[in-house]
Amino acid sequence: MDAPARTARRLTEPKLVVASHNKGKIFEIRMLVAPFGIETVSAGELGLPEPEETATTFEGNATLKSLASATASGLPALADDSGLVVPAIGGDPGIYSARWAGESKDFGLAMRKVEDALQAVGATTPDQRRAFFVAVLSLAWPDGHVEEFRGEVHGTLIWPPRGDMGFGYDPMFLPDGHDRTFGEMSGEEKHGLGAATGPLSHRARAFELFARECLEG
């Protein structure tokens, strides 16, 4: 017999900490939460420290961040851990996607490193240049309860990068079924907000699950 489906805890508090210090992510998470009328404050605005990401999975790092903010602030906190996974190069940069950009957060350099690694293994055809973005959203409460949601979007990596919208690795990522990179799409398009085909970005897909389980109804 199947185990009964687990019911997620609902978010009933009117204020939520966005447990991130990354401006691009804070902006995107705020955009996704806004329609639900929830007030947000970022970890940076509250002066909360940025915990070191010592876990070895997206889930582990997301929860490390959400729990740190929830316990320090006394408010529920939502964190996102995300990255680009490229199977041809052993899953890199994966959970180290931010670190590949170095201290100066230079994503031109990070994209170049991915391209160099692909060239080093002779990955030249679209089939060999498959990649996916992962986003795990973790919602933690001050009492230690946690809910996690994972979203993925699959595509191919192109070179040279195209477009100057979005952030991070967006300009080299061509999502399946589209002829423009994430770097050439507006935020609405990248997330697929209101699109008949449903959410597009990894973050919007994780967010849809989060909203369905914790916010709606």
Q: Among 125, 117, 29, which Cα is nearest to 77's?
A: 29
Q: Is 22 in the site for ligand IMP (CB under 6 A)?
A: yes
Q: Which is nearer to ligand IMP, 105 or 212 (CB)?
A: 105
The three-state secondary structure class of 195 is coil
Q: Is 169 in the site for ligand IMP (CB under 6 A)?
A: yes
Q: Is 132 in the site for ligand IMP (CB under 6 A)?
A: no
Please state whether beta strands 130-140 and 77-85 pair in parallel, antiparallel, or not at all (unpaired): antiparallel
Region of 34-42, 79-87, 122-130, 138-146 interacting with ligand IMP (CB under 6 A): 79-87
Shortest distance (Å) from residue 183 CB to ligand IMP: 8
Residue pair 149/79 in contact by the 8 Å Cβ criterion: no
From CA 88, how far away is CA 197, in angstroms rounded?
29
Q: Is 149 in the site for ligand IMP (CB under 6 A)?
A: no
Shortest distance (Å) from residue 170 CB to ligand IMP: 4
Residue pair 80/167 in contact by the 8 Å Cβ criterion: no
For residues 105-124, which are near ligand IMP according to CB under 6 A? none
Shortest distance (Å) from residue 53 CB to ligand IMP: 6
**Count of C-beta atoms within a 10 Å radius of residue 213:** 18
Residue pair 71/51 in contact by the 8 Å Cβ criterion: no
Q: Is position 127 annotated as part of the catalytic site?
A: no
Region of 37-45, 82-90, 119-127, 138-146 interacting with ligand IMP (CB under 6 A): 82-90
Which backbone phi and psi does 130 adopt, to 5 degrees? -70, 150
Region of 7-15, 77-85, 113-121, 143-151 interacting with ligand IMP (CB under 6 A): 77-85
Residue 92 token pair = 């890199």
- Given the residues 80, 81, 92, 170, select the one marked as catalytic: 81
Q: Closest CB to ligand IMP belongs to which residue?
A: 168
Q: Among 153, 204, 144, which Cα is nearest to 175's?
A: 153
**Residues of this chain that bind ligand IMP (CB under 6 A):** 22, 53, 81-84, 97-98, 133, 166-170, 182, 201, 203
